[in-house]
Protein backbone atom coordinates (compact mmCIF):
# COMPACT_ATOMS: atom_id res chain seq x y z
CA UNK A 1 0.00 0.00 0.00
CA UNK A 2 1.17 3.53 -0.70
CA UNK A 3 -0.14 6.92 0.36
CA UNK A 4 -2.16 7.34 -2.84
CA UNK A 5 -4.05 4.08 -2.17
CA UNK A 6 -4.52 4.91 1.51
CA UNK A 7 -5.97 8.34 0.77
CA UNK A 8 -8.25 7.01 -1.98
CA UNK A 9 -9.56 4.30 0.37
CA UNK A 10 -10.64 7.04 2.75
CA UNK A 11 -12.20 8.98 -0.11
CA UNK A 12 -9.66 11.77 0.20
CA UNK A 13 -8.05 13.35 -2.83
CA UNK A 14 -4.28 12.98 -2.83
CA UNK A 15 -3.93 16.19 -4.83
CA UNK A 16 -5.60 18.04 -1.96
CA UNK A 17 -3.10 16.50 0.41
CA UNK A 18 -0.28 17.54 -1.88
CA UNK A 19 -1.61 21.10 -1.91
CA UNK A 20 -1.47 21.07 1.88
CA UNK A 21 2.07 19.76 1.72
CA UNK A 22 2.96 22.74 -0.47
CA UNK A 23 1.82 24.91 2.43
CA UNK A 24 4.77 23.53 4.38
CA UNK A 25 6.90 26.42 3.15
CA UNK A 26 4.57 28.80 4.97
CA UNK A 27 3.35 26.76 7.93
CA UNK A 28 6.16 24.37 8.61
CA UNK A 29 6.31 20.67 7.87
CA UNK A 30 5.05 19.55 11.23
CA UNK A 31 1.87 21.62 11.18
CA UNK A 32 0.96 20.68 7.60
CA UNK A 33 1.51 16.96 8.32
CA UNK A 34 -0.62 17.16 11.43
CA UNK A 35 -3.40 18.83 9.43
CA UNK A 36 -3.37 16.03 6.86
CA UNK A 37 -3.37 13.36 9.57
CA UNK A 38 -6.26 15.05 11.39
CA UNK A 39 -8.33 15.16 8.20
CA UNK A 40 -7.56 11.51 7.41
CA UNK A 41 -8.46 10.39 10.96
CA UNK A 42 -11.72 12.33 10.84
CA UNK A 43 -12.74 10.72 7.57
CA UNK A 44 -11.63 7.25 8.74
CA UNK A 45 -13.73 7.56 11.90
CA UNK A 46 -16.84 8.27 9.83
CA UNK A 47 -16.15 5.39 7.44
CA UNK A 48 -15.35 2.96 10.24
CA UNK A 49 -18.67 3.77 11.91
CA UNK A 50 -20.44 3.23 8.58
CA UNK A 51 -18.74 -0.10 7.80
CA UNK A 52 -18.52 -1.53 11.34
CA UNK A 53 -19.54 -5.21 11.28
CA UNK A 54 -21.55 -4.91 14.50
CA UNK A 55 -23.73 -2.32 12.77
CA UNK A 56 -24.37 -4.45 9.71
CA UNK A 57 -21.52 -3.00 7.65
CA UNK A 58 -19.04 -4.66 5.36
CA UNK A 59 -16.22 -6.17 7.42
CA UNK A 60 -13.78 -6.21 4.48
CA UNK A 61 -14.30 -2.51 3.84
CA UNK A 62 -13.91 -1.87 7.57
CA UNK A 63 -10.55 -3.70 7.59
CA UNK A 64 -9.44 -1.78 4.49
CA UNK A 65 -10.25 1.59 6.07
CA UNK A 66 -8.52 0.56 9.30
CA UNK A 67 -5.34 -0.53 7.49
CA UNK A 68 -5.35 2.69 5.45
CA UNK A 69 -5.46 4.96 8.47
CA UNK A 70 -2.80 2.88 10.23
CA UNK A 71 -0.56 3.24 7.16
CA UNK A 72 -1.10 7.01 7.02
CA UNK A 73 -0.36 7.34 10.76
CA UNK A 74 2.90 5.38 10.46
CA UNK A 75 3.97 7.32 7.36
CA UNK A 76 3.26 10.62 9.11
CA UNK A 77 5.12 9.48 12.23
CA UNK A 78 8.20 8.53 10.19
CA UNK A 79 8.05 11.81 8.26
CA UNK A 80 7.87 13.85 11.46
CA UNK A 81 10.71 11.83 13.00
CA UNK A 82 12.92 12.57 9.99
CA UNK A 83 12.01 16.25 10.19
CA UNK A 84 12.99 16.33 13.87
CA UNK A 85 16.30 14.62 13.13
CA UNK A 86 17.11 17.11 10.38
CA UNK A 87 16.21 19.99 12.67
CA UNK A 88 18.52 18.64 15.37
CA UNK A 89 21.33 18.36 12.81
CA UNK A 90 20.79 21.97 11.72
CA UNK A 91 20.73 23.15 15.32
CA UNK A 92 23.93 21.25 16.09
CA UNK A 93 25.64 22.73 13.03
CA UNK A 94 24.60 26.24 14.05
CA UNK A 95 25.78 25.82 17.63
CA UNK A 96 29.14 24.40 16.57
CA UNK A 97 30.09 27.51 14.59
CA UNK A 98 32.65 29.65 16.31
CA UNK A 99 32.44 33.38 15.94
CA UNK A 100 35.53 35.50 16.40
CA UNK A 101 35.03 39.10 17.28
CA UNK A 102 37.54 41.45 15.70
CA UNK A 103 38.00 44.86 17.30
* Residue 36 domain-assigned (yes or no): yes
* Residue 35 domain-assigned (yes or no): yes
**For the chain, how many structural domains are there in total?**
1
pLDDT of the residue at 31? 75
Of 70, 15, 31, which is closest to residue 48 (Cα–Cα)?
A: 70
pLDDT of the residue at 15? 63
Domain ranges, residue 43: 3-96
pLDDT of the residue at 47? 93
Dist. CA 66–CA 9, nearest whole Å = 10
Under 8 Å between Cβ of 98 and 44: no
**Report field, pTM of the whole predicted structure over 0.75:** no
Of 32, 46, 43, which is closest to residue 6 (Cα–Cα)?
A: 43
* Residue 59 domain-assigned (yes or no): yes
* Residue 38 domain-assigned (yes or no): yes
Angle at which helix 29-51 crosses helix 59-96, to 10 degrees, equals: 170
Query: In which residue ranges of the chain is pLDDT below 70?
Result: 13-27, 97-103
Dist. CA 102–CA 31, nearest whole Å = 41
* Residue 103 domain-assigned (yes or no): no
* Residue 84 domain-assigned (yes or no): yes
pLDDT of the residue at 45? 93
Amino acid sequence: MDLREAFSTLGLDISGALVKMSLMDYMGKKKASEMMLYEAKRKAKLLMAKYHPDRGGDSEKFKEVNSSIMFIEKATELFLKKCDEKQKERDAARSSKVFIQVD
